Amino acid sequence: MKSVVPLEGACKSFEEDLVLFYYGESADADRRRVEQHLPSCAACRRFVDDLRRLLPDMAKSEELPQSFWDAYYRDTLAKLAEQDRQKYWWRDLFAPLKVWAVPAFGTMAVVVLAIGLVLGRGDSKRVTEGSSEAIPQAILSDANQLEFFESMDMLEALSKLEEQDELKADPTTNHSSKLTSLAVNA
């Protein structure tokens, strides 16, 4: 049985260095200083001896059987896999489609496009027909007037063309007749 005697403290100026000395973490100069001090100081020697006696025991951990570590490893890998599965759940969703996913989606896209084109044409006709019925009368009359003016413009353009043709056919006559008419007007 060990006797129970109150401990003396180590020298205050050395205590921190003694802890680092014990752990082998002293700088060279500090280690030499401690090594020079210890032979002459019983309290500091006792301090270091206490650390050597107490601290390694504290660090001892329970010995666990290999079966524990095997189970630990398996459990950890299972948890990692589960975490991956939750993170990338959408991969599972597409997993069965992997082999034929590309041709399947390609075909589907073509079919959707074809249906869209066919129905889209019918819709446009219906929209046009429906729209003419729905247009108010005032707007329709404006539109008729617009057609009238357009046809007038066309007639005017035709008459200009005819004039140009005449000029090409007999430039002198026409030119002089124009001058005559100008003189008459003046």
Please, which residue, 58 or 134, has the CB nearer to other proteins? 58
Asked if residue 44 lies in contact with residue 11, where contact means CB atoms within 8 angstroms, the answer is yes
68-97 residues in contact with other proteins (CB under 8 A) are: 69, 72-73, 75-77, 79-80, 83-84, 87
135-154 residues in contact with other proteins (CB under 8 A) are: none
Please, which residue, 63 or 165, has the CB nearer to other proteins? 63
55 touches other proteins (CB under 8 A):
yes
- Phi first, then psi, for residue 39 (nearest 5°) are -60, -25
Residue position matching structure tokens 């599965």: 85
Q: DSSP for 95-130, please give it.
A: GGGTTTHHHHHHHHHHHHHHHHHHHHHHHHHHHHHH
**Taking Cα atoms as reference points, which of 9, 7, 6 lies closest to residue 44?**
9
List the x/- string, 14-43, binding to other proteins by CB under 8 A. -xx--xx-xx-x------------------
Q: Name the minimum Å distance from CB 98 to other proteins.
A: 18
